[in-house]
Amino acid sequence: MRCAQCNEVNAWTLAQCRSCGAPLAASTGSSPGQGVRSEAAPASQRAPGAPEASPAFAFDARRWTFADRVTGFATLVLLVSLFLPWFGTDGDFFNVSVDGMWHGYMVIVLILAVVVLGYLVLRAGFVSLPSGFSVTTAGHLLAGAVGLNLLLAAISFATKPTATSWQYGAYIGLAAAIVAVILPVRSVMAGRHD
């Protein structure tokens, strides 16, 4: 049991805090397995020097804004498209195709897409960002990440290997990169950060 007065951890069987003597709010027949759920004490009630409890992760998709949903879905589509055929040849006797990772620098797009999706999971899991980033900074970083993804996808699309044609993965990837960048960049340009 954690004392609400001084934040001292006490045995669940005690009626009073062993540190400050304040009554403990547990003892109405609870056992160690059913103990009172301890919530973090407000900063004004914590003992000086006591560590602040980190917020618990609780995934709730309702924390996503419309822009988060669109950006997340488009980024996921871009990530999947990297493993689809982007370029290929249609010969009489054989067909050859390569995926979106054919250009080595597309690994940057892969990493950034995973980071963007991870950020969106964190945003849905915590009421406030645990890393200390402000919403403004996170909005700028998100816009920069999806903007770089668009730039690299467009370069990859434009620099197809010689004697090849574009395959469906290239079109899907480029379209997804465009959709992913629209709302975050518009939000940064307007000075809003949802």
Q: What is the dihedral of CA 156, 157, 159, 162, to 10 degrees?
A: 120
Condensed to tens digits (0 to 9), the pLDDT of residues 166-186 reads: 999 999 999 999 999 999 999
Decide if 128 contacts 55 (C-beta within 8 A). Answer: yes
Q: What is the pLDDT of residue 37?
A: 43
State which of 4-13, 18-27, 119-128 shows the largest mean pLDDT.
119-128
Q: What is the pLDDT of residue 6?
A: 74
User: What tokens were used for 77?
Assistant: 């589509």
What is the domain partition of the chain in residue ranges? Answer: 1-53, 61-190
User: What tokens were used for 104?
Assistant: 């080595």
Residue 158 has pLDDT above 50, yes or no: yes
- DSSP 8-state secondary structure symbol assigned to residue 56: P
Q: What is the pLDDT of residue 127?
A: 73
Q: Which of 22-36, 101-115, 129-143 comes out lowest in average pLDDT?
A: 22-36
* Rg for the chain, CA atoms, rounded: 26
Q: What is the pLDDT of residue 77?
A: 97
- Report which secondary-structure segment, H or E, holds 101: none
Residue 57 has pLDDT above 80, yes or no: no
Residue 106 has pLDDT above 90, yes or no: yes
Mean pLDDT, rounded, for 155-170: 92
Q: Could you tell me the CA-to-CA distances from 55 to 102, 126, 142, 193 in Å, in that order?
A: 42, 7, 23, 22
Secondary structure of residue 9 in the 3-state scheme = strand
> What is the overall mean pLDDT for the chain?
81
Sequence-distant (6+) residues with CB within 8 A of 54 are 130
Q: What is the pLDDT of residue 44?
A: 54
Residue of 145 and 192 predicted with greater confidence: 145
Q: Name the residue among 148, 166, 147 with its Cα closest to residue 157.
A: 166
User: What tokens were used for 157?
Assistant: 């699309």
